[in-house]
Amino acid sequence: MKSDIPYEKMLDVELSRGEAHHGSQKYYRCLIILTCLTTVLLILLSLQSLLVPMATSSSSKSSGQQKHLLIRETCTDPCRIALVESIPEGLVFNSSIAHQSIYEAWLNLISGAQTSLDIASFYWTLTNKDTHTQEATADQGQQILQELGQLSGKVSVRIAVDKPSGTKPLDDISFLVASGADVRMVNMRELTTGVLHTKFWIVDKKHVYIGSANMDWRSLTQVKELGAVVYDCSCLAEDLGKIFEAYWFLNQTKTVPAHWPSNYSTLYNKDTPMQLSLNGTDASVYLSSSPPSLCAEGRTSDVQSILSVIADAQQFVYIAVMNYLPTMEFSSHKRYWTDIDDQLRRVAYERRVRVRLLISCWESTNPIMFPFLRSLASLQDKNKLDVQVKIFTVPSDPQQKKIPFARVNHNKYMVTDKVAYIGTSNWSGDYFVNTAGSALVVNQTSAQSTTPTVQEQLQEVFERDWDSQYSTDINHRTNRKVVC
């Protein structure tokens, strides 16, 4: 049969007929055969190109489905969240808005601990030995240290702490080690040129504390702090545990792994948050971490989380942080770093989102912060732009003034009309590029709740501080010496 004859031979056969009047017919046949062959070839090619992506997409689909299944496996823990605060001695609000103190929350967590306590920390000065003073208000810190010492003899207490530089005191750490705690110093300076600035606790792999307070006696009585405790929430504790394990591991290595092993990965991030119930109300929750090099697969970096929360706001973005700078603070060369600053200006301009920044300062605050803040605060135009900046000042009597590194609003949170973001970082470039920090992001946008959500509670805290006598519009206070 003709169709069995190879192409070239077929041509030969045709040619061998040699008849002139068959010329046009021959040409016509040739065309048909050529067309047929090309079609077959094209079909084969397109089939192949269809099959290959189908093969890859079917495998990615199945792993995507797997992830989806894991995420939809909602956390059934009866999680409860509570805001906790340190209000410095002598600071009195004319307001009924109040939360449990961080001191009480820590005491409760310690006394309830059955099996384990993991603490990520920047430095330890819970007694007032560092200031060589006899401060009565150091009592609470000293008590926490004593209780931690006792606990260290009973349950597993692991402490990850930034490797202290020459000047940082070691007394508390030595005491805890002697009491039975397992301490690992993380040399962030060597690893990422940053510091371990994170502050969180994980108790019995089911309760967590995260917030601005350092392991410092001043953080309980002399510095204004804000944090959150989440109780009975092993899903969240397990995820925070992965961030802790990363710090723990960094003590055993000379370099940050280029790829973290898969057991450090998470399924919970800004795109696929954990679904859980907080005080009986549905919530989407995730933990972010910085710097990006410490984020295993799936983890949202702290700055990405902040940018997405700001981008998501419809009505307002309220920010309370100690430091706000669109620059790197500690790099050897001056570097401008505007990721967050750009985002705030963008939502203020494009969507008329109301932006409020409540900033604090002390003697060691970089004076360049003020012109940058005034630049932001100048974005004011009736019905078009609404950005406002206030400076929060913690009042001090002459005795309190003498306490170094105190009497300041050290909060590090943001609240929008939808989301509560509770972090551990100052807001300047370094904290997102090379310093370790982390944050809890709670979204209850779609929740139907009769009791106030944590977003609403955080908004109340912000408004209490913003409207208080301790906050002053930055435009009315220009000189840092007068402000701080």
Ligand X SMILES: *[C@@H]1O[C@H](CO)[C@@H](O)[C@H](O)[C@H]1NC(C)=O
Residue positions annotated with a catalytic role: 197, 199, 204, 410, 412, 417
Nearest distance, CB of residue 31 and ligand X, angstroms: 59
Residue 52 or 170: which CB sits closer to ligand X?
A: 170
Nearest distance, CB of residue 54 and ligand X, angstroms: 32
Residue 63's region, left for phi above 0, alpha for psi from -120 to 50, else beta, is: alpha
Q: Which residues form the interface with ligand X (CB under 6 A)?
A: 80-82, 94, 163, 183-185, 187, 214, 242, 245, 251, 261, 263-264, 270, 279, 284, 308-309, 312, 322-323, 364-365, 418-419, 426, 443, 445-446, 451-454, 457
Residue 62 or 451: which CB sits closer to ligand X?
A: 451
Residue 14 or 466: which CB sits closer to ligand X?
A: 466
Nearest distance, CB of residue 55 and ligand X, angstroms: 32
Nearest distance, CB of residue 230 and ligand X, angstroms: 10
SS3 of the chain: the string is CHHHCCHHHHHHHHHHHCCHHHHHHHHHHHHHHHHHHHHHHHHHHHHHHHHHHHHHHHHHHHHHHHHHHHHHCCCCCCCEEEEEEECCCCCCCCCCCCCEEHHHHHHHHHHHCCCEEEEEECCEECCHHHHCCCCHHHHHHHHHHHHHHHHHCCCEEEEEEECCCCCCCCHHHHHHHHHCCEEEEECHHHHHCCCECCCEEEECCCEEEEECCCEECHHHHCCEEEEEEEECCHHHHHHHHHHHHHHHHHCCCCCCCCCCCHHHCCCCCCCCCEEEEECCEEEEEEEEEECHHHCCCCCCEHHHHHHHHHHHCCCEEEEEECCECCECCCCCCCCECCHHHHHHHHHHHHHCCEEEEEECCCCCCCCCHHHHHHHHHCCEECCCEEEEEEEECCCCCHHHHCCCCCCCECCEEEEECCEEEEECCCECCHHHHCCEEEEEEEECCCCCCCCCCHHHHHHHHHHHHHCCCCEEEHHHCCCHHHHC
Residue 121 or 396: which CB sits closer to ligand X?
A: 121
Residue 113 or 454: which CB sits closer to ligand X?
A: 454
Residue 153 or 452: which CB sits closer to ligand X?
A: 452
* Distance (Å) of CA 250 to CA 176, 245, 328, 433: 21, 9, 24, 17
Nearest distance, CB of residue 58 and ligand X, angstroms: 29
Residue 359 or 389: which CB sits closer to ligand X?
A: 359
First to last CA, the chain: 99
Residue 101 or 279: which CB sits closer to ligand X?
A: 279
